[in-house]
Structure 1
Amino acid sequence: MDRLDEMAIFVAVLQYGSLAEAARKLHRSPPAITRAIASLEHRFGARLVERTTRSLAPTEAGARLAEKARVLLSQYQDAVEDATETQLSGLLRLTAPVQFGRKHVAPLVMAFLAQNPDMQIEMMLNDRNLDLIDEGLDLAVRIGHQVDSGKVARKVAQVTRVLVASPDYLAEYGVPQHPSELARHQTIMGTLRAQISEWRFGPHEDGLRVRLSPRLLSNDVESQLLAVRSGQGIARLLSYQVMDDLQAGNMVRLLTEFEPLPLPVQLVAQQVQQMPRKVRTFWDFAFERLSALPQLHSLTPSSKQ
């Protein structure tokens, strides 16, 4: 086994968190993975990985080596790709929120595949923020502020949380003029997070709080949209989710002066400088396509109530 291969195995072991999982991902036998790590530790003269009953983690020396190994492996891959001048190839794995992924990420993935016939892409659509390392993902499209300082985030656009209702509902129940009036209205809410049934208002959501007794709870955005269109109540959704309905007159935007600050739409990855060429190319492609979408920018004044 050559030394570059040992480095690749070491990085994979840390990425997947176990010798067995690294063996499965690399299509190697577990003893081969164990021998590679032992050989690398012998050559390095120090323990690189701490093994526990549940998982493993790099030692201080292992973390330093892993950082340099990732750079080395990336540079090696770039050198091979530049020398051969082949088309992009290989597997790229990404994640995105479910509805956003269906509506906006899937089309750009299809366009990218059409331009790069040797590429393979795996999309994992999930409204939970999947861990890039644990899930073996190359990048993510996320809505909201990036809280992990160890990741790199690139803002492509922004969306707003808006209150909407159908014209028929408002004709029957009236148009609320203040958030405090919402407690007397029929409301529709999501169930993705365990939380008190309330909506918060103001730029930083630290002002008004309105407790609600929702008529409908659903973890599916399409079900919430259907309920709003059919006049079942008022919902709070993201601007990209309701823009078509607002423009078509199927929904009305409410209480705009009380809306929270917009949320960023971001591309998230482990690092940028040492990205494999296929990931970096998709990163730039996705940024260009997503940042150009009108649905991912501020709603026009004509869409306000």
Structure 2
Amino acid sequence: MDRLDELAVFVSVLETGGFAAAARKLRRSPPAVTRIVAGLEARAGARLIERTTRKLSPTEAGRTLAEKARGLLAAYEEALAPEDDGPLRGVITLTAPLVFGRRHVTPVVASFLDLHPQVSVDLVLHDRNLDLIEGQIDLALRIGALADSGLVARRVGEVRRMLVASPAYLARRGTPAQPADLTDHEIVFSGVLTGAAEWRFRGQAVRLTPRLTVNEIDAALIALRAGHGIGRPLSYQVAEDLASGALVRLLPQFEPEPLPVQLVAPSRHVSKKVRAFLDHAVEALSGLAVIRPSL
């Protein structure tokens, strides 16, 4: 069969999450789709898709081939498509962390929609890093190092983890002089505990016994502003509180290295509308004071 068609079937299996779903989308039989992928794996000399009873996921070889396949298919479509200088149209799917997405990505999306009336955006706000291929997501905003080396990233800034407390709490309990002093303080721990609570600093780790553990940052900030302990949010989450004096930054000399803020795509080859949004978002987000290195 046509090799480009073979690659299109493989990519469709990954994007739809299954052989049966890909078969429905492509209007082929499930056995035919299975045979095509099996033949592709035989030629590649490697397993491209891990098959479990619950879902399919690409292997490392499969991810590499999928990125190259998308590039080839995009180039093929672009070569056949007539020259189009018309308005952008279609749907862009984007994901971002909950708080950053609500405060900073949503305004960027809104301004882009104002510029391009025929474009729609599906914005998914979630603190868990969603799989871009499995979720058919065009772009993601990620904070921190990328676990998936296959993603294509454009850096827009950085944030850092900061120790903070309210002036009222510090007046009541005193100010820690070094990370080890935190064991004598009330701690507001934000996140999901899967083991012992611990904060890492440059060259040391401190084991904690939190007074309050909460899995949502806005709830943790309410407790911190009310004087219930010391917390460790990301810098962008408390920029306004630090500026107003509601919270005070502690032990900045011990803070770990900053975390990159990046816009990522599953492939270098993206559609015209996604490329336009990416350029728009990079320009807008790079200007945010809350993710500048000087903070």
TM range (shorter): 0.7 to 0.9
Q: Tell me, in whole angstroms, the C-alpha distance in 2 between the residues paired with 1:283 and 1:75.
A: 19
Q: Tell me, in whole angstroms, the C-alpha distance in 2 between the residues paired with 1:62 and 1:98.
A: 30
Given that 2:183 and 2:207 are in contact with CA atoms closer than 8 Å, whether structure 1 keeps it comes out as: yes
Q: Tell me, in whole angstroms, the C-alpha distance in 2 between the residues paired with 1:163 and 1:60.
A: 38
Letter paired with 2:275: R
- State which of 238, 244, 251 in structure 1 corresponds to 2:247: 251
Who is 1:291 aligned against?
Answer: 286
Q: Tell me, in whole angstroms, the C-alpha distance in 1 between the residues paired with 2:177 and 2:63.
A: 56
Given that 1:47 and 1:59 are in contact with CA atoms closer than 8 Å, whether structure 2 keeps it comes out as: no
Q: Give the CA deviation at 1:14.
A: 3.0
CA distance change for structure 1 residues 193 and 86 in 2, over 3 Å: closer, same or farther? farther
- The one-character-per-residue Cα deviations of 1:53-94 (angstroms, maximum 9, x if unpaired) are 635678999889756542232124434666132211112112
Who is 1:125 aligned against?
Answer: 125
SS of the counterpart of 2:195?
A: coil
CA distance change for structure 1 residues 12 and 218 in 2, over 3 Å: closer, same or farther? same
Q: Give the CA deviation at 1:198.
A: 1.6
Letter paired with 1:264: P
Structure 1: where are the runs of 5+ without partners?
301-305
Greater displacement, 193-202 / 255-264: 193-202
User: Is 1:264 paired with 2:260?
Assistant: yes
Who is 1:145 aligned against?
Answer: 145
Letter paired with 1:165: A
Q: Give the CA deviation at 1:192.
A: 2.9
- When normalised by structure 2's length, the TM-score is 0.85
CA distance change for structure 1 residues 244 and 53 in 2, over 3 Å: closer, same or farther? closer
SS of the counterpart of 1:132?
A: coil
Who is 1:282 aligned against?
Answer: 277
CA distance change for structure 1 residues 174 and 275 in 2, over 3 Å: closer, same or farther? same
User: Is 1:156 paired with 2:156?
Assistant: yes
SS of the counterpart of 1:124?
A: strand
Who is 2:220 aligned against?
Answer: 224
Q: Tell me, in whole angstroms, the C-alpha distance in 1 between the residues paired with 2:62 and 2:241.
A: 53
Matches within 5 A, 1:84-95: 84-95=84-95
CA distance change for structure 1 residues 253 and 108 in 2, over 3 Å: closer, same or farther? same
Who is 2:196 aligned against?
Answer: 196
- The one-character-per-residue Cα deviations of 1:196-223 (angstroms, maximum 9, x if unpaired) are 2121111xxxx22222111111111100
- The one-character-per-residue Cα deviations of 1:132-191 (angstroms, maximum 9, x if unpaired) are 111111121100011322111221100010000111111111111111111111110123
Who is 2:184 aligned against?
Answer: 184
Aligned residues: 291
Identity of aligned residues (%): 48
Letter paired with 2:247: M
Q: Tell me, in whole angstroms, the C-alpha distance in 2 between the residues paired with 1:64 and 1:236.
A: 37
CA distance change for structure 1 residues 41 and 163 in 2, over 3 Å: closer, same or farther? closer
Given that 1:187 and 1:235 are in contact with CA atoms closer than 8 Å, whether structure 2 keeps it comes out as: yes
- When normalised by structure 1's length, the TM-score is 0.83
Who is 1:303 aligned against?
Answer: none
